Amino acid sequence: MKPRDRLRIAVQKSGRLSEVSQDLLARCGLKFRHSRDKLFCFGESLAIDLLLVRDDDIPGLIADGVCDLGIVGRNVLAEQQAALQSREAVVPFRELLPLGFGRCRLSIAIPQELDYAEPSSLQGLRIATTYPALTAQWLQQAGVTAKVVVLSGSVEIAPKLGTADAICDLVSSGATLQANQLREVAGILDSEAVLAAAPGLPPDERGELQELLLRRIEGVIQVRE
Ligand code: PRT
Ligand code: ZN
């Protein structure tokens, strides 16, 4: 990776976190010139540029040194961390600061009519999820053997389709679970948007910029609370 003198921060291009993330950076006094393809935005007020990407790509962009910082759900960061840990690989990113928006939880849910007393009630079941590493880690810690069925979306209909007996998915209001006659039985992870970064501070001017931005974000969050 070539050395850079400008800090680069990745945020979700379009989705639940994109507007709030960009709004947070604007409140920190960052102004961007939006480029035509709108993937890369040049920072006009400070030497901090913006990259608009899919949220799942953010940890990898930080790991590869393409970006210094990212705003991403803890769920995404924790899943990729759990996947690396299961292979005993190094985790080249970390959570710097919780940001107080995008709150949700990753939970196990089962059909309303199914009995549940404790994690062992899931023994031998098939659990559909887009978070296989976190699900497997939780099952292992609970001493439960269950089959993790990896899906790329629409996890909540898996029990009705018969492709799984239970699910592990993000929940916020609970309306999706209710609409699919599912009930939440165990929480795996409390999540919200977080500021993510590489393990160490960049060893050049970017390090100072990162500290400056962190202080400004903390200031904005304090005012909000
Ligand atoms: O395209 P890209 O990959 O960037 O976006 P995405 O589709 O993967 O993510 P997106 O925009 O849906 O969500 C971005 C982040 O928002 C997630 O990673 C979470 O950190 C956070 N977040 C907060 C949520 C929710 N709340 C949420 N409710 N992400 C998803 N949901 C979904 C959930 O998967 C389920 O389908 O909403 C449904 C449940 O909502 P309730 O209110 O019915 O319980
Ligand atoms: Zn995504």
Average model confidence (pLDDT) across the chain = 96
Q: What's this model's pTM, rounded to 2 decimal places?
A: 0.97
CA-wise closest residue to 111 among 169, 167, 187, 173: 167
Q: What CATH number should be reported for the domain whose range is 7-102+192-224?
A: 3.40.190.10
Q: What is the pLDDT of residue 34?
A: 85
The CA-atom distances, in angstroms, between 207 and each of 7, 28, 92, 219 are 8, 17, 17, 19
Q: Which atom of ligand 1 is nearest to the CA of 12?
A: 4
Give per-residue pLDDT as tens, 42-73: 999 999 999 999 999 999 999 999 999 999 99
Which of 61, 104, 152, 191 has most ligand 1 atoms within 8 Å of its beta carbon, as the pocket-test mutant?
A: 104
Q: Where are the domains of the chain?
A: 7-102+192-224, 104-190
* Mean pLDDT, residues 166-191: 98
Whether 196 is in the pocket of ligand 1, judged by its Cβ within 6 Å, is: no
Whether 16 is in the pocket of ligand 1, judged by its Cβ within 6 Å, is: yes
DSSP codes of every residue in 143-157: T---EEEE-SS-GGG
Looking from the CA of 59 toward its CB, the CA atoms found within 13 Å total 21
Which residues place a Cβ less than 5 A from the ion ligand 2?
55-56
**Are 7-102+192-224 and 104-190 the same fold in CATH?**
yes
Q: How far apart are CA 70 and CA 55, in angstroms?
A: 9
pLDDT at 96 over 70: yes
Give per-residue pLDDT as tens, 123-140: 999 999 999 999 999 999
Tell the residue number behind the tokens 């919780």, with chain if given: 98
Q: What CATH number should be reported for the domain whose range is 104-190?
A: 3.40.190.10
Q: Which atom of ligand 1 is nearest to the CA of 178?
A: 43
pLDDT at 1 over 60: no
